[in-house]
Copies of this chain bind each other. A is one copy, B any other.
Amino acid sequence: MNIKDEVTQIAQKAKEAFYKLQNVPKNIKTESLLKIAEQLESHANWIIKENKKDLKNAEEMGQTKAFLDRLELTPKRIQSMAESVRVVASLPDPVGNIESQYIHPNGLKIAKIRQPIGVVGIIYESRPNVTIDAASLCLKSANTCILRGGSEAIHSNLALAKIFNDTATQCGIPENAVQMISTTDRSAVGELLKLDQYIDVIIPRGGKSLIARIYDESRIPVIAHLDGVCHTYLHADADLDMSLKIVMNAKLQRPGVCNAMETLLVHEGCAPILLPPIAKELIQGGCELRGCPRTQMIIECKPATEEDWYTEYLDKILSIKIVSSIEEAIYHINHYGSHHSDAIITNDYLMSEKFLEEVDSATVYVNASTRFTDGFEFGMGAEIGISTNKLHWRGPMALEGLTTFKFVIRGNGQIRG
């Protein structure tokens, strides 16, 4: 069978399984998730054996230490994977919730009710834990899914998917509720992205080039974020201690993630006082600073180019700009940013409200680190990704974001006049 037929068949089976899954009671889904967590733990040795094959291949291909670290599965990591399945099992499932009901003057009861979306395609890179996280969230929310992991993790992913599926079907989940694409042929992704007849949404997780390619090629709606160019803006009245603490956390606690700060905006009124001590601590933390001309007059740093304002470094690098007003800061964020996560530090009530209202981002903060943009931190228990799309879902996304709704109308013979 060629790749196109193979992928099409998988998608067709996923759609069929979706309709079957709607007949499975909620408690069966929860029980199978708990059983899956158990089976992951009891098969840890086999998973690690399969994972070693991937690690060996990756080493032979000369992958970096960071890459090997992301790929590696240890007993502790398998334990924490199982734990996250248990968390998903315990979350409230939004499917079937009535969002609102309107009674038509003629007596029709028109209710808006949460429903699963359908078939979810998940395309991701090296971390094998995405296999289990995504499959659990989809199963809990009664969606079926097609998983396409990176070829470098194929043995690990196939082992995890096999445990997930064997256990799920034993517990009464229909076959093909979770399918892993087993070919590592690169054209499989291209074929998948054409199947809008069967697949309802694509959620990609990985580097910018992967996401950009998927946005570009897909005929299926894509939910993702391309960039995380996040800002922290120190307003004129910003407190030094709070600014220092939040800037250090937003930039350096974990610089390689999408909700880390990339650009610091500072009001001209406080820049001479705040910038020197903040710059000092950042430099001590190993951070490279790139500043606008006014910044360079206050602290020692490299010049920032126009390009810098658009850049997600994902590294210990920070661009700094001094602005003359909150309006300039908001304009900068809306113009150069990626509409992901942006914060203001201020004790001025009017300014905080203005910032929250006018910054057009998925998550906007007052007096907190942008590092909180995360499904778990937002009380969702887990996340399947973070969206900077405007439609359907913005920000960290989990079970509720994996649902749509339908209008359910109950009548007793009404016709339209």
Chain A residues proximal to chain B, CB less than 8 Å = 19, 22-23, 102, 104, 108, 110, 117-118, 200-201, 221, 223, 242, 245-246, 248-250, 253, 334, 352, 356-358, 360-369, 371-373, 377-379, 389-392, 394-396, 404-416
Contacts and interface: CB of A to CB of B under 8 A. Distances in A.
A391 B108 contact: no
Contact of A369 (B221, B245, B364, B414): B414
Given A22-B357, A395-B406, A405-B394, A413 B118 contact: no
Given A358-B19, A394-B406, A406-B394, A416 B201 contact: no
A136 to B, nearest CB: 21
A376 to B, nearest CB: 10
Given A23-B358, A416-B371, A363 B407 contact: yes
A357 B114 CA distance: 11
B394 A407 contact: yes
13 contacts: A19-B360, A22-B358, A200-B390, A201-B390, A248-B415, A356-B408, A362-B406, A363-B407, A365-B411, A366-B410, A367-B410, A369-B415, A394-B404
Given A117-B391, A390-B404, A395-B406, 11 more contacts: A102-B378, A110-B372, A200-B391, A221-B391, A250-B415, A362-B407, A364-B407, A367-B412, A367-B413, A368-B412, A395-B407
Contacts of A357: 22
Contact of A246 (B245, B392, B406, B415): B415
A246 B411 CA distance: 11
Contact of A409 (B245, B368, B416): B368
Give the oligomeric copy count: 2
A40 to B, nearest CB: 27
A9 to B, nearest CB: 17
A372 B104 contact: yes
Contact of A249 (B22, B117, B245, B416): B416
Among A23, A250, A409, A413: residue with most chain B CB under 10 A: A409
A251 to B, nearest CB: 11
A343 to B, nearest CB: 8
Nearest to A101: B379
A301 B20 CA distance: 35
Given A19-B360, A407-B362, A407-B395, A390 B118 contact: yes
Contacts of A372: 104, 108, 110, 409, 414, 416
Nearest to A367: B411
Contacts of A358: 19, 22-23
Contacts of A416: 249, 253, 369, 371-372, 377
Contact of A364 (B117, B408, B413): B408
A397 to B, nearest CB: 11
Nearest to A379: B102
